[in-house]
Every structure is written in structure tokens, then in C-alpha cells.
């Protein structure tokens, strides 16, 4: 099994999202392993614009499994809003194509 890892060294804004999207077309599984909803990336696929902050890029590709890993800080409200937004654009998000690590960290209102 071949693995490809994309890691930034500039504290964000290096274009990792575009690279991961490009690679995700060839992948079976796309994992977001760290970060939170404070940063994001925009994908344009077949003329449709997707703004992702927590969801891995693979979520917009049919037949891919997307995983939020244990290094991601998840704001459940932001995640639900993001899922609602991409579902409105025809993306299917379900238990067969989207998983969250049980060790992922949560941001709750009292953390703010």
C-alpha cells in the first residue's frame, strides 16, 4: 500500500489544499491529520466551488473515504455547518465515506 503525506512548513497558506485535492483523485482514502477550522481551502471542481475548513478534500470526490484524524481540533457546530453547506451542492456525506477519529479533540463553547 502506497502512502503520500503532504506537510506544510510555512504555518499555512502554502497551497497544501490544492495539492491534496490533486492527489486525492488518485487516492482511496484522504485523511486530515491535524489543524482546525480556522484555516481552509477552496476547491473548484467541474465549475462548482467548495470551501472546506475541517473536511478532507477527498469528501468531494465520489468513491473516496475521508477521515478526520486524532490531531484535528473539531468544532462540532462548524463541522455540521460545513457538511450542510457541501450537501446543498450535491455532495453525499455519510458513514460509508466520512469518519472521525474517536480521539479527535473537540472545541466546545467553554474553550473560547
What domains can be seen in the chain, in order of their start residue? 16-111 (3.40.440.10)
Q: What's the pLDDT at 13?
A: 67
Q: Annotated active-site positions, please? A: 13, 41
Between CA 37 and CA 55 the distance in angstroms is: 9
Q: What is the pLDDT of residue 12?
A: 66
The predicted structure's pLDDT at residue 9: 74
Q: Which residues contact 96 (CB under 8 A, 6 or more apart)?
A: 65
pTM for the model stands at: 0.86
> pLDDT 10s per residue in the chain (112 long)?
577 777 777 766 677 777 777 777 888 899 888 888 887 888 888 899 999 999 998 999 999 999 999 999 999 999 999 999 999 999 999 999 999 999 999 999 888 7
Tell me the backbone φ, ψ of residue 82, rounded to 5 degrees.
-65, -40
Distance CA 94, CA 77 (A): 17
Amino acid at each position: 500500500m502506497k502512502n503520500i503525506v503532504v506537510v506544510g512548513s510555512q504555518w499555512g497558506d502554502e497551497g497544501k489544499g490544492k495539492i491534496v485535492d490533486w492527489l486525492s483523485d488518485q487516492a482511496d482514502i484522504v485523511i486530515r491529520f491535524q489543524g482546525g477550522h480556522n484555516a481552509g481551502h477552496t476547491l473548484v471542481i467541474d465549475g462548482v466551488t467548495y470551501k472546506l475548513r475541517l473536511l478532507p478534500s477527498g469528501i468531494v470526490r465520489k468513491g473516496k473515504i475521508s477521515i478526520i484524524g486524532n490531531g484535528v481540533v473539531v468544532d462540532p457546530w462548524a463541522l455540521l455547518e460545513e457538511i450542510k453547506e457541501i450537501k446543498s451542492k450535491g455532495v453525499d456525506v455519510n458513514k460509508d465515506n466520512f469518519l472521525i477519529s474517536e480521539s479527535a479533540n473537540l472545541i466546545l463553547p467553554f474553550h473560547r
